[in-house]
Structure 1
């Protein structure tokens, strides 16, 4: 390859990489800007990541779903590797959204105007045989990173009074954390970019 072709190939590769990263960032920003907002109650867990800094681990009111909410449990009665799940949410009297139904895969019908669907994944091996069991879907919203030094103080406050996270949900159920809430007060908001 000549020097000129090598430079052109390097530029094309750089543009492809920049385009891919821009596409990921723009997709996240579109959900934050245009997604349906829901508020979930959070519970405390350890607040520090040595590589990325302070965070709040977001164990929330949809972190565990009762098996009895799942409408289409398969014959095998165990989850397979990385099953997708759709959980239908509805706003409760306290302002926090609660799970009302769930489906492995996609929901059979779109959510009503006062409902929202969140998409997640279920790891292999969850037992669906007993309606009294619960499963723990992964929605990709389990951490909220904070400015350095803020995590421990907020984690202690979560143990005392209710906190929540405001989510933005895309039409396909993809979730992005929009803000950390202390009651009605926004503590930290995610920037679009």
Structure 2
């Protein structure tokens, strides 16, 4: 009887740890969506289907290729392998945010202006920093999942009209897609939970 009580207590403890971990992931994402600074990025489509999660639109951004001339501090490394990239975005006159500066592994130095935000991405592995003129960066914003059957229509429309995403950027630079926009019209909004 004692052994079965011990197993029950252990199973409950493991279940509570798992629930706590999953809750922490959901709450962290929700905190960025709720409290993060909003930026608007112009997007371009790539392709629309995932067998496990359904339709999606694969997105590319102007900020996915950062000119090495924007690096504030000369990198000590010779390649981008294993490095994070902080990109300082500045709001443009057209309302879209563009890269103004960048740095490997730490935000660019200097205080942020009111129309600036630092966004965190991961450099594509293995790029040379000595000969390449741009760093390719992924932000985890490259896919936007849609209701089944809507991915191909959205992708088709992206080829003829301007689309954008509203991105919430946390104080640590973590980005989350908040909404998908077709011009000025919001098509989808991500729920907090």
Fold shared, TM-score > 0.5 on shorter chain:
yes
TM-score when scaled to structure 1? 0.94
Where do 1:137-156 residues align within 5 Å? 137-156=137-156
CA drift of 1:184 comes to 1.2
Q: Which residue in 2 is equivalent to 1:9? A: 10
Aligned to 1:136: 136
RMSD of Structure 2 on Structure 1 (CA): 1.3
User: 1:159 and 1:52 mapped to 2: Cα distance?
Assistant: 23
Q: How far apart, in 2, do the equivalents of 1:21 and 1:110 lie?
A: 35
Give the deviation of 1:21 after TM superposition.
0.4
Return the offset for 1:75. Answer: 4.3
SS at match of 2:18: helix
User: Unaligned stretches of 5+ in structure 2?
Assistant: none
Give ranges in structure 1 of 5+ residues lacking alignment.
none
What's the offset of the Cα at 1:112?
A: 1.9
SS at match of 1:128: coil
Per-residue CA deviations over 1:118-137 (Å, capped at 9, x if unaligned) read 0111133212224x721211
* TM-score (normalizing by structure 2): 0.94
Q: Does the C-alpha gap of structure 1 residues 18 and 154 become closer, same or farther in structure 2, counting only changes over 3 Å? A: same
Equivalent residue of 1:155, what SS? helix
Which residue matches 1:171? Answer: 171
**Any conservation in 2 of the 1:179–1:188 contact (CA below 8 Å)?**
yes
Query: Between Structure 1 and Structure 2, how many residues are aligned?
Result: 191
Change (3 A) 1:16 1:182: same
Distance (whole Å) between structure 1 residues aligned to residue 51 and residue 122 of structure 2: 26
Q: 1:24 to 1:75 in 2, by over 3 A?
A: closer
What SS class does the counterpart of residue 161 from structure 1 fall into? coil
